[in-house]
Amino acid sequence: MSDFSQVLSVIKDFLVYGFFANLIITVLSELVGDQVRFRIRYAKKKLFKWLRNVNVKVIAIMKPRPLFINEDIDSITKELSALLSSNGIRPFVEGTKIRFEYLVPRVGIGYISLGLNEADGKVNSLELSLEWSIEFQKFADAFLDMTGAMRSLEDMFRKKYSTIASFEEILTCAGLKKAYELNGVLRKYSLENLTTKRGDETEVNFSDRDLTIFGRMDSSMKNLLQDLIAYYY
């Protein structure tokens, strides 16, 4: 038998065996059911994320509600800078933002963003944000550090502003790998986001490279966030 015939025979066997192997896998997959298929696929994806130890940029945002401020920007930046300094945090004023570092024990870059009233230019709102770089293998510990930092900032601002009843909380993961499985058809029809909500009012917004969750930052959100990153991104 010539070398060419041997190559054709190998290719033929490969195609035949490959077809039957794929057929058997498909049949078995249908027999085991959706949940088992999902668990197998999820476990494989999560293992790959863990082995690669992907780095995730996480931004936690808190918006105090209600908050009544009507002060000049110079006055409020001095007050808030003094508040941070008195709690051992070094502030840096950058226009309508106050930047700071938070060590608990990982370094988080924080911001107080000031909102201005268009009519008189006075500060009438603010939001707190803390930005972290989290490795997938240490996601749980880093998330615990982050939420601990946000709760400390929350307590700090409740003492400063007695009108605050609650904080609107938002968590964003930026710069993720493209979510092709999620957004392939959406992108085809120029739909850039997909939003869903569950019974406790937690809202999830999927986009091409970003994932945003609106809801209380707790262990439940940590699990949800980690699972969504593992499976979809």
**Could you give the angle at the alpha carbon of 197 between the alpha carbons of 65 and 153, nearest 5°?**
30
Please tell me whether residues 107 and 192 are part of one structural domain: yes
Strand 107-116 relative to strand 123-135, pairing: antiparallel
Residues 16 and 58 occupy one common structural domain: no
Domain that holds residue 14: 1-32
User: Domain check: are 67 and 182 in the same one?
Assistant: yes
Structure tokens at 181: 């499985």
pLDDT at 221: 86
**How many domains does the chain fold into?**
2
Q: Which of 233, 184, 199 is nearest to 55 (CA)?
A: 233
The reply to whether 41 falls in a domain is no
pLDDT, tens digit, for every residue of 20-60? 556 556 655 555 556 666 777 777 888 888 888 888 888 99
Q: Are 125 and 192 in a shared domain?
A: yes
pLDDT at residue 182, as a whole number: 64
- The verdict on 182 and 76 lying in the same domain is yes
Task: Give domain status of residue 147, yes or no.
Answer: yes
Q: Are residues 25 and 88 in the same domain?
A: no
94 and 200 belong to one structural domain? yes
Assigned domain for 38 exists: no
User: Are 99 and 7 within one domain?
Assistant: no
Are 16 and 72 members of one domain? Answer: no
- In a domain? residue 39: no
Confidence band of 161 (pLDDT split at 50, 70, 90): confident
Report the pLDDT value the prediction gives residue 13, as an integer from 0 to 100: 58
Say whether both 23 and 60 belong to one domain: no
Percent of the chain with pLDDT over 90: 12
Statement to judge: residues 154 and 221 lie in one domain:
yes
How would you write the chain as a 3-class SS string? CCHHHHHHHHHHHHHHHHHHHHHHHHHHHHHHCHHHHHHHHHHHHHHHHHHHCCEEEEEEEEEEECCCCCECHHHHHHHHHHHHHHCCCCEEEECCEEEEEEECCCEEEEEEEEEECCCCCCEEEEEEEEEEEEEHHHHHHHHHHHHHHHHHHHHHHHHHCCCCCEEEEEEEEECCCCCHHHHHHHHHCCCCEEEEECCCCCEEEEECCCEEEECCCCHHHHHHHHHHHHHHC
Count Cα atoms within 13 angstroms, Cβ side, for 5.
2
pLDDT digits (tens, 9 = 90+) for 169-220: 999 988 777 666 666 677 777 777 778 888 778 898 887 778 899 988 888 8
Give the predicted TM-score (pTM) of the model. 0.75
Confidence (pLDDT) at 214: 92
The verdict on 4 and 89 lying in the same domain is no
